[in-house]
């Protein structure tokens, strides 16, 4: 993958509902996630347009929430990479993805599942291949993003359960294409 930096204000209009955002954090917790999951990424979310605001839907330590993407880019310590679906997704499918994502807003962050997933990564345990859309009561970031895609019949990693998805698994999905690192200024 060729690293490409893009100015957010120049590509903002090109970011579509359901586009994936992958985060490479520089803080302690982000680095810990990267080490445990053997990943260059520590977090993921999904873009969505609400009126004229571009938002990011994400599962963070405060739960599943929505934040303006511009504020996310401005305040995040690290890089935010933008990925799009490789194949065309109709506006109806994209709208269905956002509807599903909105229904999950307010759910708690799944600390226990994230811990167990981290432990499984450390012990190199096999991951569960069973994959089905699950209406979970608690979520963590990559599970949330995988479920958003699964809600419209797109399995980001066939053979890997959404419940065992890490940000790295999302970044290597054959269903997504890298677009660039979003920056406020270069």
Task: Convert 106-135 into a string of H (helix), E (strand) and C (coil).
Answer: CCEECHHHHHHHHHHHHHCCCCCCCCCCCC
φ, ψ for residue 128, nearest 5 deg: -65, 125
Picking from 174, 172, 150, 152, the residue whose alpha carbon sits closest to that of residue 162 is 150
- Going from the N-terminus, what domains does the chain have, and what CATH number goes with each? 5-181 (3.90.1720.10)
pLDDT digits (tens, 9 = 90+) for 139-153: 889 999 999 999 999
pLDDT digits (tens, 9 = 90+) for 92-111: 999 999 999 999 999 988 77
The pLDDT score that the predictor gives to residue 140 is 87
Of 37 and 158, the structure prediction assigns the larger pLDDT to: 158
Tell me whether residue 92 is exposed, middle or buried, using C-beta atoms within 10 angstroms of its C-beta: 0 to 12, 13 to 18, 19 or more.
exposed
The pLDDT score that the predictor gives to residue 38 is 76
Confidence class for position 123, pLDDT limits 50, 70, 90: low
């Amino acid at each position: 993958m060729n690293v490409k930096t893009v100015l957010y204000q120049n590509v903002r209009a090109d970011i579509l509902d359901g586009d994936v955002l992958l985060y490479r954090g520089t803080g302690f917790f982000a680095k810990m996630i990267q080490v445990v999951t053997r990943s260059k990424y520590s977090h993921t979310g999904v873009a969505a347009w609400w009126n004229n605001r571009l938002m990011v839907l994400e599962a963070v330590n405060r739960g599943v929430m929505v934040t303006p993407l511009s504020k996310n880019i401005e305040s995040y310590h690290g890089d935010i990479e933008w990925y799009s679906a490789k194949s065309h997704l109709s506006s109806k499918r994209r709208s269905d993805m956002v509807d599903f994502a909105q229904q999950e807003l307010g759910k708690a962050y799944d600390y226990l599942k994230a811990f167990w997933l981290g432990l499984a990564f450390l012990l190199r345990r096999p991951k569960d291949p069973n994959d089905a859309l699950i209406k979970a009561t608690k979520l963590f970031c990559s599970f949330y993003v995988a479920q958003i895609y699964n809600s419209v019949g797109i399995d980001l990693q066939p053979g890997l359960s959404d419940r065992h998805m890490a940000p790295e698994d999302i970044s290597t999905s054959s269903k997504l294409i890298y677009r660039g690192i979003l920056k406020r200024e270069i």
